[in-house]
Amino acid sequence: MPTVYFSKEGQNYLQKGAEELKVAFGIIIGQKSYDDKYNIIHLAKLLEDEESISSTQETTPSLETVDVQSLADQWISASKMTPGSFSVIGVFMSNAENDSNDDKQTKNIKKMLTKLHKLVTNSNSTIGYTEHTTDLEILFLSYSAPSAKSNFKIFSNSSSGGNLMPADCKVFEKLPQWYLFESNYELEDVFPLTNNQEEIDVENQFNAILQAVKLNIQNSEIFIQQQNVDDNTTLESYLKENSNNKKNDVPHVFNASILLTANVSNEFLIKIRPFNGTIRFSGIVSSRIWSHAKNTFKEIKESIRRDILRSLAARIQIYCDGLTDTVLKTDGVVVNEPPRRIYFCNSKSQGGIQFSEYVFRGETPSVAVSQAKQILDMDINSDCIFDDLEGLPEDEVSSLFDEAYEEREVQPYTGLGLSRTMYVLAILVVLLVLLLSVLLNHLLL
């Protein structure tokens, strides 16, 4: 039977939510391992706006009346802010009354979760690039405040209306220890615009490039502390082995280095072909993931890859959502600066686990405060924001880039490698020949 590891602090959060709202709904963030074990690290109740609260203040929320669309929106937004080692794995209902286990209650749970499953898997968001949404399972937690009892079930979607499977629950008093893995993924790639149209859809091009980057990262090798650690090794055994070796100090923060290999599909190999322009990706993606001692290095490496892709997909979507028009003409150079990643946590965060947000140039990191409250129901202050891992591009470098490219025009490929300088030299030679002809003709006559 699947086992859910739940903290006493999480129970206190549900108890408080039930006392304040009578019935509270929200999302569950955690980690699922290969052996069907779920570790819950954060709960965030659904915060309604003032208009919704005033319209429903005379009625108590229930499985029949909960705004499933808002739950799905919270799920998707929180997925962008969650480190790659964790995901939104389910939803909860905290009730001020005793929990009911009758057939009607079960039917309403299935109906609500079926709708939520459809909204999340069919959403037009970057969640599809990093999560396995086709076989998405939803952990459902029903908490009864009078009995202080947590009841977990796992929902899997099916054509018959979905299945609910019971899960065992283990409550722990002491917070587990989580280990931090840091890495920086450097992007310096040029991708061709292969369409023959004079206009391109920026979002479609970015999404196609994201698939190419995903393929590269999936085929990459990841070294831990400059070592090629076997995938089947658990972090616990690795720590024990290094602690027994006096020559090696067990680090508090592990460094992960990503090495791209040449084992990629023929679709993305270098080849000569016509194109209407290029898109250049340049910069560094910061990554931080947290691992439990029981995790294998296969899980850790997959979490690092997922975190990088999730971060890239999130900032691309945020950037495209801010465009007034995603269609651009291929007759010039456009320099874009997607948002950079910052990290934050609250004082009660388990094991120092940090979430992330994305800010554009000119925006202050304090924008993370409102997002953390609205999406994650997390109160943070400026001391808990870490904004120095992805620095802004230097203005001097940006100006040099602009000067180098301000005269450049993106032209369709003609098969000839002629540059602007060669065109000018050719014109000068023709003029020189013309002048010499006129001079000789004058002297001979």
Q: pLDDT per residue over 54-97, tens digit each?
A: 444 556 678 888 999 999 999 999 999 999 999 999 999 999 88
CA angle, corner 124, sides to 121 and 129, nearest 5?
Answer: 70
* Listed residue (278, 313, 310) closest to 189, CA to CA: 278
CA angle, corner 23, sides to 19 and 27, nearest 5?
Answer: 105
pLDDT band at 414 (very low <50, low <70, confident <90, very high): very low
Contact (Cβ atoms closer than 8 angstroms) between residue 401 and residue 335: yes
Side-chain-side CA neighbours of residue 117 (13 Å): 24
Say what percent of the chain tops pLDDT 70: 76
CATH T-level fold of 3-172: Cytidine Deaminase; domain 2 (3.40.140)
Per DSSP (E only), the strands in 215-321 are 221-224, 253-259, 278-292
In the sheet that holds 340-344, the strands lie side by side as 355-359, 340-344, 385-386
How many CB atoms are located within 10 Å of the residue 415 CB?
6
Cα separation, 223 vs 230, whole angstroms: 10
What the block records as the tokens of 287 is 């990554």
Cα separation, 356 vs 385, whole angstroms: 9
Amino acid 336: pLDDT = 74
Question: Comparing 129-138, 143-152, 341-350, 426-435, which segment has the lowest mean pLDDT?
Answer: 129-138
Highest mean pLDDT among 230-244, 253-267, 424-438: 230-244
Please give the C-alpha separations between residue 307 and each of 120, 140, 208, 409, in angstroms, as whole numbers. Answer: 19, 25, 19, 36
Amino acid 282: pLDDT = 83
Tell me what the mean pLDDT of segment 47-60 comes to: 53
Rounded mean pLDDT of the chain? 80
How many CB atoms are located within 10 Å of the residue 418 CB?
9
Contact (Cβ atoms closer than 8 angstroms) between residue 188 and residue 51: no
pLDDT in tens, 138-170: 999 999 999 888 999 999 987 777 889 999 999
Side-chain-side CA neighbours of residue 329 (13 Å): 4
Amino acid 236: pLDDT = 92
Contact (Cβ atoms closer than 8 angstroms) between residue 26 and residue 13: no
Residue 333 backbone dihedrals phi, psi, to 5 degrees: -105, 130
User: How long, in residues, is the chain?
Assistant: 445
Cα separation, 306 vs 232, whole angstroms: 19
Cα separation, 391 vs 410, whole angstroms: 30
pLDDT reading at 271 higher than 60: yes
Residue 386, judged by CB atoms within 10 A of its CB (0-12, 13-18, 19+), counts as middle
Each residue of 47-62: b (16+ CB within 10 Å) or e?
Answer: bbeeeeeeeeeeeebe
Judged by DSSP in three states, 226 sits in: coil
pLDDT in tens, 206-258: 888 888 888 888 888 999 998 999 999 999 999 988 876 655 555 678 999 99
What the block records as the tokens of 158 is 């099916």
Question: Comparing 55-69, 91-105, 390-404, which segment has the lowest mean pLDDT?
Answer: 390-404
Give the contacts of 100 (CB within 8 A, at least 6 positions apart).
none
pTM tops 0.75: yes
Contact (Cβ atoms closer than 8 angstroms) between residue 87 and residue 131: yes
